[in-house]
Structure 1
Amino acid sequence: MAAQQQSPLTILRRKQVEARTGLARSTIYDHVRAGTFPAPISLGGKAVGWIESEIDAWLTAQVEKSRKAA
């Protein structure tokens, strides 16, 4: 049985998520509470981060929604 290649997980911090999405901190957390944005994961203490692949998937979905609406 061949081992599957998995890409390493990349964690984005809030400032990186803001830059990638164009959303402000409060908007990100509003969407997280509404269940319309990926939830952050705990990195220990008070630090959190987002899984890059989940942010990429959210961005792709936003583009697809936008294209269908046009």
Structure 2
Amino acid sequence: MSQTSVLQPNERRILRLEEVEAKSGFKRAHIYNLMKKRQFPQALRLGVRAVGWDSIEIDQWIDERVNNRA
């Protein structure tokens, strides 16, 4: 029997840079500039040369931007 996992909308997972770029609409340099200013969720260290972002934090950040628009 094979298992397929269906992600629930608010299921927590680690997003890599490519996914964060797609969700936010920003490129790497802008994401890192915002992180430096504490205006974007901080990356999690996954290994020596790997980082990722908490999907729930990214979704909350996007929701805040949508809710604060004029």
Q: TM-score, normalised by structure 1?
A: 0.82
Structure 1: give runs of 5+ residues left out of the alignment.
1-6
What is residue 14 of structure 1 aligned with on the other side? 17
Q: Deviations over 1:26-63 (max 9, x none)?
A: 00000000001000000011100000000000000000
SS in 2 for 1:50: strand
**Identity level (%):** 39
SS in 1 for 2:56: helix
Structure 2: give runs of 5+ residues left out of the alignment.
1-9
Answering whether residue 39 of structure 2 is matched by residue 36 of structure 1, we say yes
Answering whether residue 58 of structure 2 is matched by residue 55 of structure 1, we say yes
SS in 2 for 1:36: coil
Q: How many residues align?
A: 61
**Which structure carries more strand by proportion?**
1
**Which structure carries more helix by proportion?**
1
Structure 1 residue 65: deviation in Å? 1.1
Structure 1 residue 12: deviation in Å? 0.1
Q: Aligned-pair RMSD on alpha carbons?
A: 1.3
Q: TM-score, normalised by structure 2?
A: 0.82
Question: After the TM superposition, which segments of 4 or more aligned residues of structure 1 sit over 3 Å from their partners?
Answer: none
Structure 1 residue 9: deviation in Å? 3.0
SS in 2 for 1:44: coil
